[in-house]
Amino acid sequence: MRWEVDAEQEIDSLAASWSTDADANQARLIQRIEDLPPLEEVSGANIEWVVDGIIAQGALHMLTSEPGAGKSTFMSSLAYAVSFGREFMGRATSKRPVLLLDAENPYPAIRERFGRLGIKSHEHFRVWGQWVGEDPPAAGGTIVME
């Protein structure tokens, strides 16, 4: 969402609208640190793995290393395996559609990598890079979430 603000008055109005949060009327469950329940007593679902023991559903994962270390190659291979529900590095995967967002690699680099790895886009494996004429959105962008 984008807001155009031209005057200080509008800034004050915008700030006021942010401070009147719908949840502000609800009483907080945790008033003091002592109100926190012991971790062992908190119920929650088990982890649902997309790639067994490596990638958990609904979690944020970050892969970092120096340039040229193979991060994009690793993630392309992993994503392609998931799109078919194929084993990856000896680990089970949960088949699901994959959208690979690439804001850094040029088209020739992607084509070379995919050719080397035998990766081809298909109905459940799409790639969005700058070469399609529009920069890829953020992972949480509206078009991605819809």
10 pLDDT tier (thresholds 50, 70, 90): low
Residue extents of the structural domains in the chain:
8-41, 49-145
User: Per residue in 91-131, pLDDT tens?
Assistant: 999 999 999 999 889 999 999 999 999 999 999 999 999 99
**What DSSP string describes 111-144?**
HHHHHHHT---BTTEEEEEGGGSSPPPPTT-HHH
- Name the 3-class secondary structure at 66: coil
pLDDT value at residue 108: 96
Q: Tell me which of 3 and 61 has the higher pLDDT.
A: 61
**pTM (predicted TM-score):** 0.69
130 burial via Cβ count (<10 Å: 0-12, 13-18, 19+)? middle
pLDDT value at residue 2: 54
Percent of the chain past pLDDT 70, that is, above it, reads: 82
pLDDT value at residue 126: 96
pLDDT value at residue 33: 92
Q: Residue 44 in contact with residue 37, Cβ under 8 Å?
A: no
List, in order, residues 6 or more apart from 38 with CB less than 8 Å away: none
Write out the two tokens for 142: 């509206």
